[in-house]
Structure 1
Amino acid sequence: MKKKDLLFSGVAALTLFLAACGGGQTTADSSKEAATSAAETVKIGVVSEVEVDVWKDVASRLKNQGIDLEVVQFSDYVQPNVALTNGDIDLNAFQHIAYLKDFNANNNSDITPIGFTYISPLGLYSEKVTDYKDIPEGAKITIPNDVTNGGRALLLLQAIGLIKVDEAKGTTPTVSDITENPKNVTFEELDAAQVARSLPDVDAAVINTNYATDSGLDPKKDSLFLDTDNIAAVADVYKNVVAARAEDADNATYKKIVAEYQTDATAAKIEEVTKGNDVPAWK
């Protein structure tokens, strides 16, 4: 065989070999691209920057399981459920069971909890006094205006002896259910997202932890009282959950997401970003 023919045969053979093998690095890159394109995208809605930090950490761990978790931040407690109901997102994780039940009842929806996340304290804050015992006669206090967080706020104020509410109302008393108010406190009910902003203008405010931390407050250092100081007394209905539409309650991918959330790695991240204020609810 001539040298020219030998050279052509060698080049042809090498070309076929590279085509079959993918050229080493090319094969690895192709496999990575295939895995990426095969990843299942799931959108989860949260409220507050703290929850974004926690869920992005979970999302980074889910990539190895072929799940691309996209974290969508909302600014209030209504839109994440509306978006879930409408199919704009697949899951949400921001609310406790009591709030979810009330939302379903009032909106004819069937959003379903599929796993616990954490218990977040509700706190009493003030820029006027440093001890809740010093709240003055005729004080003005702001509380969330939704029935579940508002009810929890009133139970907190009952726990410190400021008021008493009708026991028959359980975990959802309203201002009209106050039976004793010895200091003649007046209440202003605001959207939960607005309560922290009212703090300079009132004697005290009962603020959800996510909004407290987003406004620069440290619940353990800055609150006059946290209802989780006696966590055994905090009802299970105040445990936060991952929620899905009812038809997706048994979705295998969503179960993997819950399982990855309910790990020691997530508990450590919650401890880090909330400075120990939020407590894992799945343990």
Structure 2
Amino acid sequence: MHHPEKIKEITIINDFGGEDKMKRLSYLIYIICLMVLISGCGKATNAGEDKDTLVIATNPSFNGFPEILEFIKPKLKEEGIDLKIEYVNDIIQPNELVHDKSVDANAFQHIPYMEAYNKQHGTNLVAAIKVLAWPSGLYSKRYKDIKDVPDGATISIPQDPSNNGRALDFLAKHGFIKLKEGVGLQATKKDIIENKRNFKIIELDQGMSAKSLDDVDLAFILGGYQTAVGLHLKDALLAEDSSSEFIGVITTRPDNQNDEKIQKLKKVLHTPEVKKFIEETFHGDIIPVFE
């Protein structure tokens, strides 16, 4: 037999228990939202506001800068600077991070690329410290001598504007093609006015040039990428020399280039110890551009 009074009493207790749970849940959600908001505010802080920390973005695919930055960490520590390295896997984010002040500087690009990026994106990033050069060259798995390359051969080159012009200018200087007068490093395929040997020029993402060696006769590979496929500058059929304009730099913003942390970074980078480290570590694939 049922007892309505007891059922009613139990129902009321359960209702209050449910309401209490809802209150606790609402309070928990509020706390979580507050923590997320606080966390978000922390991330919005500019990197440069910490006087003892220098944050530099780099790309692990670019031989040279990541290794050098790791090498100088303890040396910067002696100067009172805690170096933090932020790794990204493309060639756009490092500049975006500098521009929006998420990092103090980046270390991955050469000057013409930086200038092309500024022009394309309306930014005004600056080269604060010259560090190294990655001589690029023409590589092949099919031919041992440039004289053996036949008419109609396929040649892969990078497609990004600065390195595209660099590769075409290189090909023109070595007689593969002829370009419109004066275009120089600004050249595009549209500027080719003579290709007597009917070379087929294929444009690829710069990181794919080395990987294309199995499918093309020649590949213009940017310095630093060839080691990813087990090659070195000495393996190139033709290569740039040390007078190349494509010098790798530490990039920052105009308002930051004279900052004390950047100046201490320059002091540490431009030392005989770092020069020796580059020469002994990279065996000529990467060249220091300071004394």
**Band the TM-score falls in, shorter-chain normalisation:** 0.7 to 0.9
Three-state SS of the structure 1 residue aligned to 2:152 is: coil
Q: Match of 1:33? A: none
Residue 214 of structure 1 and its aligned partner are, at CA, apart by 2.7
Please point out which of 158, 161, 164 is paired with 1:147: 161
Q: Distance in 2 between matches of 1:168 and 1:49?
A: 32
* Structure 2, unpaired ranges of 5+: 1-49
Q: Which has the higher helix share?
A: 1
Partner amino acid, structure 2, of 1:225: L
Please point out which of 243, 247, 253 is paired with 2:255: 247
Structure-2 change in CA distance of 1:214 and 1:60 (3 Å): farther
Residue 49 of structure 1 and its aligned partner are, at CA, apart by 4.5
Q: Distance in 1 between matches of 2:63 and 2:289?
A: 20
Matched, 1:90 2:101: no
| Kept after mapping to 2: 8 A contact 1:113/1:243 | yes
Q: Match of 1:225? A: 238
Residue 149 of structure 1 and its aligned partner are, at CA, apart by 0.9
Residue 241 of structure 1 and its aligned partner are, at CA, apart by 1.2
Q: Distance in 2 between matches of 1:148 and 1:137?
A: 27
Q: Distance in 1 between matches of 2:180 and 2:267?
A: 39
Q: Distance in 2 between matches of 1:241 and 1:158?
A: 26
Show the 5 A alignment for 1:55-66: 55-66=69-80
Alignment TM-score, normalising by the size of structure 1: 0.80
Show the 5 A alignment for 1:1-283: 40-47=52-59, 48-220=62-234, 222-228=235-241, 231-232=242-243, 234-235=244-245, 238-283=246-291
| Kept after mapping to 2: 8 A contact 1:39/1:68 | no
Partner amino acid, structure 1, of 2:238: F
Q: Distance in 1 between matches of 2:252 and 2:129?
A: 10
Partner amino acid, structure 1, of 2:158: P
Three-state SS of the structure 1 residue aligned to 2:185 is: coil
* Structure 1, unpaired ranges of 5+: 1-37
- RMSD, aligned CA: 1.7
The alignment of Structure 1 onto Structure 2 pairs a total of residues equal to 240
Three-state SS of the structure 2 residue aligned to 1:167 is: coil
Alignment TM-score, normalising by the size of structure 2: 0.78
Residue 72 of structure 1 and its aligned partner are, at CA, apart by 2.5
| Kept after mapping to 1: 8 A contact 2:177/2:196 | yes
Partner amino acid, structure 2, of 1:130: K
Q: Deviations over 1:157-208 (max 9, x none)?
A: 1232211212311222111111221211111111111111111111111011
Residue 39 of structure 1 and its aligned partner are, at CA, apart by 7.6
Q: Deviations over 1:110-142 (max 9, x none)?
A: 111111111210111111111122222211111
Larger radius of gyration: 2
Partner amino acid, structure 2, of 1:120: W
Structure-2 change in CA distance of 1:39 and 1:81 (3 Å): closer
Residue 61 of structure 1 and its aligned partner are, at CA, apart by 0.8
Three-state SS of the structure 2 residue aligned to 1:209 is: coil
Three-state SS of the structure 2 residue aligned to 1:268 is: helix
Q: Distance in 2 between matches of 1:86 and 1:270?
A: 31
The structure 1 segments of at least 4 consecutive aligned residues displaced by more than 3 Å after TM superposition are: none
